[in-house]
Amino acid sequence: MARARAATLKDKLDGNELDLSLCDLSEVPVRELAALPKATILDLSCNNLVSLPSDFCSLMHLVKLDLSKNRLQQLPLDFGRLVNLQHLDLLNNRLVTLPVSFAQLKNLKWLDLKDNPLDPVLAKVAGDCLDEKQCKQAAVRVLQHMRAIQSEQDRERQRKLQAEREMEKKREAEQRAKEAQQRELRKREKAEEKERRRREYDAQRAAKQEMEKQTKKETVQTRKPPSNSRPPQPPRRKHSWSRSVLRVLLFVLLCILCTLAVCKLTELQHQPLCISVNTLYEDVVAALQNHKTLQDML
């Protein structure tokens, strides 16, 4: 069927002009038109076209296009791909705006936008197309207008892109600051944990040293004799007193013996004192001899 339609379209081709006007078309046979690259002039006027398919913009061989007296409400967004288009008739449609890509139609020399509910700004820019001169001026003015819109959109896009980049940089800076803060926090927590462990270590070491010191002290005290094992002071004073008395008695006895020896063996025995001493000695000896107990001991 597609071949049949292509053959039908080919039969309508007159040189480089293809007339499909008044064919009651509701859609454009793009595939069949693409097969006829020689048809650089295409007339689709006076049909029932409401929209153009997106692949219509692949017909880049078109130089002259007539879409007048249809019901087009909008053109494809990439309509600007028809870069070879020089003549465009959009009379009596339902267009309000044109796609921004319209600014790319650098070869457009003739344009008719009459009898469309255009945006007031666009309608003023387009003006009338009552003769060849006005239609050419309309093409120039509309292209300039669409290029200005495109430039403004590009600038706005650049501003948005720049704002997004700056926002991204800000987010990255905030993220880096947050990460740095987290690193600092972890570092501080690590230092605090280390300090806590060090204090615990010092405390344990001090407790251990104190325990060892106490153990040594208890060991030394265990080895020393208890302080209460010393002899009491009163008995020691008693012992010293007995020794002193004994010394006195021995001294007295020695004196007596010396006196007796002097009175017995020296020339002083005839002295009154020695006579008394000798007499006392003899009496004591006589008394001791008469004492029965002492005799037994002797």
pLDDT tens-digit readout, 140-150: 999 999 999 99
Report which secondary-structure segment, H or E, holds 18.
strand 17-19
**Class assignment of domain 9-152?**
alpha beta
Q: Is the confidence at residue 2, as pLDDT, over 50?
A: no
**Selected residue with higher pLDDT from 296 and 43:** 43
Crossing angle for the helix pair 233-265 and 272-290, to the nearest 10 degrees? 110
pLDDT tens-digit readout, 29-68: 999 999 999 999 999 999 999 999 999 999 999 999 999 9
Dist CA 89 CA 69 (whole Å) = 9
Token reading at 20: 């499909």
Contact 95, 72 (CB under 8 A): yes
Give the highest mean pLDDT range of 106-115, 217-226, 234-243. Answer: 106-115
Phi then psi for residue 19, to 5 deg, are: -105, 110
Domain map of the chain by residue range? 9-152
24: left (phi over 0), alpha (psi -120 to 50) or beta: left
Indicate the average pLDDT of the chain: 86
This prediction has a pTM of 0.58
Mean pLDDT, to the nearest integer, of 173-194?
A: 91
Reduced to 3 states (helix: H, G, I; strand: E, B; else coil), residue 260 is helix
